[in-house]
């Protein structure tokens, strides 16, 4: 990551999933942790009190983000896949539709933008189908754990390992 470049912008897409205790709080922790380390993260919790045109706000966040962290959970999967009661969870449903559209429109670039993340209490089965097969690469996040470093390295362009310099070709007799 170039220290002089603009900060990386991240949007956190998730469902307020009461089936996973503490999920909403951990989503906020992730957003705060990234901000503290120079990543411009955005989450709905910071603007809940404002009079917002939510569909426009979500569309703008997804469009403007360098990366969208898709936090898998049972409700997130259901809502992103447009299943269940359509009158509840409109935020995750809308974001799921926008993500699906982006994946369909640009199958080459979009998979690098949308990153599946699992917080405590969730599993790979909670990743929406539209993020597969790309969703099979996911990050298990908890603050200070290995997954945190790996996710941070991914979004800030800091690979864990770099290949050694290329040597000379060996010429055998």
The CATH number of the domain where 68 resides is what?
3.40.50.10140
pLDDT of residue 1: 46
Q: Answer whether residue 2 is part of any domain.
A: no
Tell me how far apart the alpha carbons of residues 138 and 83 are, in angstroms, rounded to a whole number.
Answer: 23
Q: Answer whether residue 62 is part of any domain.
A: yes
Q: Answer whether residue 161 is part of any domain.
A: no
Tell me how far apart the alpha carbons of residues 99 and 106 are, in angstroms, rounded to a whole number.
Answer: 11
pLDDT of residue 145: 67
Q: Answer whether residue 39 is part of any domain.
A: yes
pLDDT by residue (tens digit) across 51-78? 788 989 999 999 999 999 999 999 999 9
Domain range for 17: 9-156
- Listed in sequence order, the DSSP H helices in 68-122 are 74-80, 90-105, 110-113
Average pLDDT of span 26-35: 94
DSSP assigned state of 148: H
Distance of CA 117 to the CA centre of its chain: 6
Tell me how far apart the alpha carbons of residues 143 and 1 are, in angstroms, rounded to a whole number.
Answer: 21
Number of structural domains found in the chain: 1
The helix (run of H) or strand (run of E) holding residue 162 is: none
Q: Answer whether residue 171 is part of any domain.
A: no
State the average pLDDT for the chain: 88
Q: Answer whether residue 3 is part of any domain.
A: no
pLDDT of residue 104: 85
Q: Answer whether residue 162 is part of any domain.
A: no
Assess whether pLDDT exceeds 80 at residue 173: yes
pTM for this model (two decimals) = 0.88
Q: Answer whether residue 173 is part of any domain.
A: no
pLDDT of residue 33: 94
Tokens at 87, concatenated:
């009158």
> Which residues is 114 bridged to in the sheet?
68
CA distances from 40 to 132, 138, 156, 172 (A): 26, 21, 11, 53
């Amino acid at each position: 990551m170039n220290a002089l470049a603009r900060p990386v912008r991240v949007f956190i897409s998730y469902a307020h999933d009461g089936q996973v205790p503490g999920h909403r709080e951990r989503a906020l922790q992730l957003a705060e942790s990234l901000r503290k380390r120079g990543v411009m993260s955005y989450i709905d919790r910071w603007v809940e009190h404002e009079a917002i045109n939510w569909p426009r706000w979500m569309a703008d966040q997804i469009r403007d983000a360098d990366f969208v962290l898709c936090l898998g959970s049972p409700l997130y999967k259901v809502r992103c896949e447009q299943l269940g009661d359509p009158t509840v969870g409109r935020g995750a449903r809308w974001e799921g539709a926008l993500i699906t559209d982006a994946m369909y429109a640009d199958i080459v670039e979009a998979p690098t933008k949308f990153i599946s993340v699992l917080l405590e209490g969730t599993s790979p089965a909670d990743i929406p189908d539209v993020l597969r097969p790309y969703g099979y690469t996911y990050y298990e996040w908890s603050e200070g754990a290995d997954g945190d470093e790996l996710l941070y390295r991914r979004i800030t362009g800091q690979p864990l390992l770099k290949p050694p310099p290329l040597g000379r070709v060996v010429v055998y007799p």
